[in-house]
Amino acid sequence: MNRLLNALLAFAAGLAGAWVSYYFSPAVVHAQSGPPLKIQSQSFVIVDPNNNPVGTFTSSPSPNGPAVVLLDRNGREIWRGGSPVIRPLTQR
């Protein structure tokens, strides 16, 4: 009789626990499904381990269209990349 009572109490406690967790559980949180498709910024600042700026990737207008520019910590241009100059056929 004692074993049967323990088994019934355990079963009832399991059902009660399942019912409580089903109806009173916190909202489900889902992790991000994947990496973002696009990151936008006007510039990216590269820093050293002490959080001091070392360089900056940014954009700059130029006569041939916008260009990507790498600046050093003093703001001097180190590298520039952009579209090549496309001349009309009449100027070739």
- CA angle at residue 82 from 62 to 76, to 5 degrees? 65
The residue extents of the domains of the chain are: 2-25+36-83
What are the beta bridge partners of residue 79? 70
Give CA–CA dist 34/39, Å, rounded.
13
- Kindly report the pTM of this predicted structure: 0.48
- In whole angstroms, how far apart are CA 84 and each of 23, 30, 57, 80? 64, 45, 19, 11
DSSP code for 68: E
Please check whether residue 85 is in contact with residue 64, taking contact to mean a CB–CB distance below 8 angstroms: yes
Q: What is the mean pLDDT of each run of 10 residues along the chain (92 residues)?
A: 88 89 77 79 92 91 81 90 63 50
